């Protein structure tokens, strides 16, 4: 294949289609088709925290089709067709911020059904597989995937509980989800 076609296929990944309960259907499609037709598909969310109660957030690239420039989850992405969920989480962390996290240090805390119709026509019907893990390097040592991430920054962990108090940091309508993540991070830190 030529380089242009390879790049287009990379940007428009082949993904698995799941049903409205998150069960794999055995069917696949391009990510753009899933977003056009509203097919449910699996994604990953990875929340990275530090031992001193900070949370890493990424500022979404201004070229992103949804929520450009928003301070968002540490790492998020689509799971490739046939890819194991945890492998996708590890891959996305490496791709987006060049952080290698060991599989045993990435902890799944749940799965969340998410349905949003965006003004630009994208229909996001997803099941977010949610992970938390400790960021064990300085953020200056991370290298950003510029097509996805404009900037990264450590915020006080409490910010994810107080999204209504901050403009352009996470989405206030998902406050309950963020509080759940906060509680799970605190539990994990207390166990360490």
Tens digit of each residue's pLDDT (9 = 90 or more) over 101-145: 999 999 999 999 999 999 999 999 999 999 999 999 999 999 999
Per-residue pLDDT reduced to its tens digit, 50-79: 999 999 999 999 999 889 999 999 999 999
DSSP H helices in the chain: 3-11, 31-37, 85-97, 175-191
All structural domains of the chain, each given as residue ranges with its CATH number in brackets, are: 42-191 (3.90.79.10)
CB atoms within 10 A of CB 177: 19
């Amino acid at each position: 294949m030529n380089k242009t076609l390879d790049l287009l296929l990379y940007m428009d990944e082949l993904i698995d289609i799941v049903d409205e309960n998150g069960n794999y259907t055995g069917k696949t499609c391009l990510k753009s088709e899933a977003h056009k037709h509203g097919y449910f598909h699996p994604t990953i969310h990875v929340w990275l925290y530090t031992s001193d109660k900070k949370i890493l957030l990424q500022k979404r690239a201004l070229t992103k089709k949804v929520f450009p420039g928003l301070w968002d989850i540490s790492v998020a992405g689509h799971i490739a067709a046939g890819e194991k969920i945890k492998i996708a989480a590890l891959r996305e962390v490496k791709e987006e911020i060049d952080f290698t996290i060991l599989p045993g240090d990435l902890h799944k805390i749940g799965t969340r059904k998410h349905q949003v119709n965006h003004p630009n026509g994208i229909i996001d019907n997803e099941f977010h597989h949610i992970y938390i893990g400790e960021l064990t390097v300085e953020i200056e040592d991370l290298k950003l995937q510029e097509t996805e991430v404009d900037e990264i920054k450590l915020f006080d962990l409490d910010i994810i509980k107080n999204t209504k108090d901050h403009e352009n940091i996470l989405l206030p309508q998902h406050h309950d989800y963020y509080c759940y993540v906060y509680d799970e991070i605190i539990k994990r830190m207390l166990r360490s």
